[in-house]
Amino acid sequence: MMTFSIHRGRILHFPRPTSAPEHNYQYFSDGILVVRDGLIEYLGEACDFLAENRLNSDDIIHHEGLILPGFIDAHVHYAQVEMIASYGEQLFDWLNNYTFPTEKKFIDRYYAKQQAEFFIAQLFAHGTTTAAVFATVHEHSVDMFFEAAEQYQARMICGKVLMDRFCPDTLRDNPKLGYWQSKELIEHWHHNGRNLYAVTPRFAPTSTPQQLQQAASLLREYPDVYMQTHLSENLNEIKWVKDLFPTSRDYLDVYESAGLLTERSIFGHGVHLCDSELKRLAANNATVACCPSSNLFLGSGLFPFHHIKDVGVNIAFASDIGAGTDLSLLANLADAYKICQLQGKSLNVFDSLYHSTQGAAVGLKLTDKIGNLNPGTEADFIEVNPTAFPMLQQRVERATSLESELFAVTTLGDERVINRTYVMGKCVFERTTKTE
């Protein structure tokens, strides 16, 4: 079916890859975004567009809020949504006491389907239109996820968790089984509609060297699939990896020597990386997913954003639910700011928004499709309401610059400020109640 819509309002995005987002954003105080058949056809000043096109006011959707590209969440576990806010543990005990028992429930296909549908609806309600998602070890957990995503034609990345040791028996696969199941899923889902596959070894401790080798074989066979895993999140984890892989020079080398370090590798966390690891990540054009609320919640450490950026590693923000405490990337940006402050640095709001949209798309090699509002890209965008609730409204009314207003939104905002979410030009979420 042909679709056509014209959106008018304030519009902000980052049209190009950049290391200086504060100097490379495009802002229209009165802009027009035209969408045809799911793609952006035109972006520009309203006065220019209206001078050239005779339109009735009814032909135009007017947005009171600010239009941004949909957020991209670079690392999140859909099966862990129900165990968000689980008390008292750091990484290993949290995995054993909460995560594995929860992921076991996904042996039930119907349960997986319900949770996948809930998760996708919640992503949209939080303004996220693309996510790199861990399913569980169960093959059907990926089927259920992609089936839920394709109902909306959403661009999603997902993969079956590979895990063949140090986990409960019912969550364990083996190198051959994990390989064949992943291969079958790639054949079925990768580039099926907007879906994209990520080979997903959970992390080095729960995969034997043989399993990591099998995962790398898949990357060689299917060079444009992603690889997602965890890296250098927690100090005890790093020690354990050293014991398990005594011949590796560091944590990254476990993945690198197996053949899992590519430009399509997304490494969750990367809190405690040494300079050599950072340089190799940059040289391979790989991406680190920064998970602020998770790193605080599990007490994992302070992500050195400015240092990692200076070395030239791609950075993409992420919620890491269920260790993260908010699916809203805005709430995670507020935590990211505080984490930087604890290291004596301030996180510029343009950096925050860039690495949640265009910068994340740079990492995912998807800037021709998502992360910005350039003509020709897919029409995934959101309308943010900077006056969604009184505390924010009062602060924004006193803001003396765009930067100050945006900083208030990223510091105080969460899903309450998401007014509408559009996927391929179609409204998939609309907030109906105003927050008091």
Q: Which parts of this chain interact with Zn ion (CB under 5 A)?
A: 268, 320
320 lies in the site for ligand GUN, by CB under 6 A: yes
Q: Smallest distance from the beta carbon of 142 to ligand GUN, in angstroms?
A: 16
**b (16+ CB within 10 A) / e for 418-430:** bbbbbbbbeebbe
The residue (of 268 and 363) whose beta carbon lies closer to Zn ion is 268
The residue count for binding ligand GUN (CB under 6 A) is 11
CA atoms of 129 and 72, how far apart (whole Å): 6
State how far the Cα of 373 lies from the Cα of 381, in Å rounded to an integer: 8
Closer of 228 and 377 to Zn ion (Cβ): 228
Q: What are phi and psi of 407, to 5 degrees?
A: -65, -40
Residue 309 near which of ligand GUN, Zn ion, none (CB within 5-8 Å, type-dependent): none
Q: What is the DSSP string of 348-409?
A: -HHHHHHTTTHHHHHHHT-TTTSSS--TTSB--EEEE-TTSSHHHHHHHHT--SHHHHHHHH
- Residue written as token pair 């060689």: 220
Tokens of residue 295, six digits: 């790193």
Region 26-85 residues binding ligand GUN, contact defined as CB under 6 A: 77
Among Zn ion, ligand GUN, none, partner that 202 touches (CB below 5 to 8 angstroms by kind): ligand GUN
From the CB of 240, what's the least distance to ligand GUN, in Å?
11
Q: Can residue 99 be called a binding residue for ligand GUN (CB under 6 A)?
A: yes
If DSSP codes are grouped into helix, strand and coil, which group holds residue 198? strand
Q: How far is the CB of 18 from Zn ion (least distance, A)?
A: 27
Burial of 15 (0-12, 13-18, 19+ CB in 10 A): middle
371 interacts with, out of Zn ion, ligand GUN, none, CB within 5 to 8 A per kind: none
Q: Which stretch binds ligand GUN (CB under 6 A): 91-99, 311-319, 340-348, 405-413?
A: 91-99
Q: Does 141 bind ligand GUN (CB under 6 A)?
A: no
| H-helix or E-strand spanning residue 147 | helix 139-150
| 272 near ligand GUN, rule: CB under 6 A | no
Say whether residue 233 binds ligand GUN (CB under 6 A): yes
Residue 317 makes CB contacts below 8 A (sequence gap 6+) with 73, 74, 289, 290, 291, 292, 329, 332, 333, 336, 352, 355, 356, 360
CB-nearer residue toward ligand GUN: 241 or 412: 241
Q: Is 11 helix (H, G, I), strand (E, B) or coil?
A: strand
Q: How far is the CB of 75 from Zn ion (least distance, A)?
A: 5
Q: Quick check: 164 binds ligand GUN (CB under 6 A)? A: no
Q: In this structure, what is the dihedral angle of CA atoms 311, 198, 213, 204, given to the nearest 10 degrees? A: 60
- Distance, in Å, from the CA atom of 72 to the CA atom of 358, rounded to the nearest integer, reads 9
Residue nearest to ligand GUN (CB): 323
421 interface partner picked from ligand GUN, Zn ion, none, CB below 5 to 8 A per type: none
User: Does 203 interact with ligand GUN (rule: CB under 6 A)?
Assistant: yes
Cβ proximity to ligand GUN: between 204 and 428 the closer is: 204
Q: Does 202 bind ligand GUN (CB under 6 A)?
A: yes
**Minimal distance in Å, beta carbon 230 to ligand GUN?**
4
Considering only 230, 264, 355, 395, the residue that binds ligand GUN (CB under 6 A) is: 230
- Shortest reach from residue 302's CB to ligand GUN, in Å: 15
User: Residue 220 phi/psi, 5° resolution?
Assistant: -70, -40
CB atoms within 10 A of CB 29: 11
For residue 322, say if its preceding peptide bond is cis, omega within 30 degrees of 0. yes
Residue 160's binding partner among ligand GUN, Zn ion, none (Cβ under 5 to 8 angstroms by kind) is none
Interface contacts to ligand GUN, rule CB under 6 A: 77, 91, 95, 99, 202-203, 230, 233, 294, 320, 323
